[in-house]
Structure 1
């Protein structure tokens, strides 16, 4: 699935606003000093600077910036300082990035491609309220909970999300069962009301309704309601250790698959 072909015309127009971050260039060291964040200084590959400078006008006109295959460990500060006011679409795929904090300066970002980076569930995106498309395929995300909830807080308006190839996204290709795949899909859908497309499939009304039924009810109601496959305590006395046992099974602690971190 080609992101440029599929979503090139889906970016909404936004008005230009000034960046609130204060960033200055230390010419003697060839690095940027950022007063808003405490990101470590990183040497910028000369060929990357030349490439960015040569295409600067085109980047500002198109609102797109591609930094794929540049062996980057983070978004270079020179790039942030030069382009953050104009960029709506950024491609960071096939790098070595684990920290996306620098994206806080891209106030108009609507699309982020970060496939094939060693990003884990410990990587929390900064607030990106305008982000509509996020691709994190073939990264190192091994746990959905509580990462998906934090992602929702950072990017509440996501419409397109791809997490294929991550350990936390079970599929036939990484040894997951259909049941695990369905759990994963419905849980993610339940967290994003505006999501239209998850991985390689469109979100259907039936899936959204089922996701709401499974995951939007109060947690203890799901545990104790017989209709949800939980423990029935409506007509009998139940000890707390029985509930704890059910909780443990829900988190996969008893079935040897706790690495999936799937919920019911």
Structure 2
């Protein structure tokens, strides 16, 4: 690949540890609005670990050129649920902490399509990831975890906690397809409309709660 000249004021760090130093690239704290084309041309054919955190990036389309990427750090960028990742089948870890993601549905499903082999995912600090620190209740936090876990069968870590076998079992029970289909009211266009429209997490969670109350009486819930 042709070696393109880099912007003189861009502090590019290709570092790491061990014998794989040339597979790690850090572009953090560079006031970037996108991954520069010169960076893509020079590094995309061998980088496995890319850190673009603490910038002003809203579009991740350029990441598609990093064919060998296994780890992507996007913390503290104004990424929203309208930003979808390109296909990254080798990606195992993505950190999207403290971004602007305010809706999980259908964004999480699109992330699963782009990154089907994720093992580590962190969304802490986003409006769509309820926690004590952003005003979310413990119940909302649990439902958030179960929903995300249901989307990623290979996930071993979500945020700062390992995914447990109990969580996986409960996620599969709660968010299996027949139940999700019942969240769509008759005459609303069916599941296809729900999947292709963005709804608030609170509305989605409230529908789940109502179904629990109506249909799960007498059945002990694993986590609630």
Change (3 A) 1:156 1:149: same
TM-score (normalizing by structure 1)? 0.67
Among 46, 56, 77, the alignment partner of 2:8 is 46
Among 187, 192, 196, the alignment partner of 2:147 is 187
Deviates more, 1:209-218 or 1:131-140: 209-218
TM-score (normalizing by structure 2)? 0.78
Is 1:107 aligned to 2:67, yes or no? Answer: yes
Cα deviation, 1:102-140, whole Å, max 9, x if unaligned, reads: 000000000000000000000000000000000000000
Shift of 1:62: 3.3
Among 41, 49, 52, the alignment partner of 1:92 is 52
Conservation of the 8 A alpha-carbon contact between 2:121 and 2:155: yes
Among 146, 150, 172, the alignment partner of 2:106 is 146
* 3-state SS of paired residue (1:103): helix
Q: Which runs of 4+ in 1 moved over 6 A?
A: none
- The CA distance in 2 between the partners of 1:144 and 1:98, in whole Å, is 17
- The CA distance in 2 between the partners of 1:220 and 1:162, in whole Å, is 24
Count of residue pairs brought into register by the alignment: 196
Unaligned stretches of 5+ in structure 1?
A: 1-18, 31-43, 225-238, 245-252
2:171 maps to what in 1?
Answer: 211
CA RMSD of aligned residues (A): 3.0
2:137 maps to what in 1?
Answer: 177
Q: Taking CA–CA contacts closer than 8 Å with sequence separation of 6 or more, which of the two structures ends up with the larger relative contact order? A: 2
Unaligned stretches of 5+ in structure 2?
A: 191-198, 209-224
